[in-house]
Amino acid sequence: MLTKTLQEKIDGRSARVSVIGLGYVGLSLGVELARAGFTVHGIDLDLERVNLLNRGESYLVDVPTEALGPLVASGRLAASTDFSAARQADALIICVPTPLRKTKEPDISFILSAVESLVPYLHAGQMMVLESTTYPGTTEEVVQPRLESAGLVIGSDFFLAFSPERVDPGNKRFTTANIPKVVGGVTATCTQLAAALYRQVTKTVFEVSSPRVAETAKLLENTFRSVNIALANELAFACRKIGVDPWEVIDAAATKPFGFMPFYPGPGIGGHCIPVDPLYLSWKVRLTGYEAQFIALADQINRAMPEHVVGLVMEALNERGRALRGASVLVMGVTYKADVNDIRESPALEIIECLEKKGAHVSYADPFTPQITLNGLKLTAVEATPDAIAAADCVLILTNHSGFDVTVIAERAKLVVDTRNALKAHRRGRTSIVTL
């Protein structure tokens, strides 16, 4: 009876949904659910986020205020810091962060905290879906026992599933509304109900046999990216040794219509997925006594890139008779990818810190990040004017934001270290432009 009632609420879009965690994943999902006609209540401990949302103001690049405002005004979307709102929910979706500890072990404390905060307000007839990326087994080994200890019977009076988030910040082509969703429930009924909810907001839902399969699939997606980025980074090292342009090599190989997918080198890996997710998988596998060597090697190569970039800046300045100590370096972009305001795990932060430790005078330009804090010191972005570019001893491109005028950089900068191939069209014959 409870299954039928929840199914009917989902099909009729009368189900009330609570989204726990209103970052890139949670806010985007909440907006799509509200657009589909569901009443959505977001829960987040960040009071500033909650207040902005309740005023109809977006704090994320991917969610325009123009889209958010009408949903808030209509009463379809609201937020609070109070977990008791979950008592009114039919479906609860957890979208909280899952970082790494300093030991490179999974940190699921945000998941545990969210579940513990929700338990007092849970009751029969509800469904919970975990979207936070985590190690295989978390849903069944960690979340399920806690719910069962509260007296909930999974699969008959309470429903539990895992559906990995697949948000790609800044991607205008693939969004929450059209990225296929993978869903794995603890029971067949759990899968059925979770899949039914997601089918209301996305075109394709792929059902798998268990939460463990869904959890592992998410980790495979980003391990694939990490390994291939590491290969591209190693290619950059190798090509530098033999005097070949790695960007040209990759462009040439990419003309093959089968059996090749282009990945490109860069200053390091960043964001909430690629630096973290593969290590969740290798940690879980290590518990069985097996070492995932590919994952470890890829992580080692990718994490070596910031130091390599600093070395390139030092070498390029030295060749022009200028020491790094005392040199002015203008960093272009500090976010981990273009046209987003996300600096999580951004290699730019490590690079700036290293440059400053070596005595460089570092400033940065980034239209998406007006201020950053490094070691307690606040840095404020400068405007990338032609004069500012010309005044720097070295311009270091770490993020290729579309708003940067690459022609001005190419024409006015004394020296450019370009880690993103942003000046591809200007490089021919210019010794003042150095690439990876």
Which residues share a beta bridge with 418? 397, 435
Distance (Å, rounded) from C-alpha 336 to C-alpha 348?
7
The Cα 134–Cα 110 span in angstroms is 11
> Comparing C-alpha atoms, which of 150, 127, 122, 182 is closest to residue 5?
127
Cα–Cα dist 411/394, whole Å: 13
Among residues 95, 273, 354, 394, which one is catalytic? 273
Is 273 part of the annotated catalytic residue set? yes
CB atoms within 10 A of CB 394: 27
Reduced to 3 states, what is the DSSP secondary structure of residue 217? helix
Q: How far apart are CA 143 and CA 139, in angstroms?
A: 5
Beta-sheet strands, E only, within 108-235: 126-130, 158-162, 181-185, 205-207
Q: Up-side HSE of residue 124: CA atoms within 13 Å toward CB?
A: 9
Q: Which stretches within 254-343 are classed as H helix? A: 277-286, 293-303, 305-319
- Going from the C-alpha of 205 to that of each of 163, 174, 178, 392, the distances in angstroms are 10, 15, 10, 51
**Strands 158-162 and 181-185, how do they pair?**
antiparallel
Q: Which two tokens mark 241? A: 């040794």
The answer to whether the beta carbons of residues 43 and 85 sit under 8 Å apart is yes
Residues labelled as active-site residues: 273
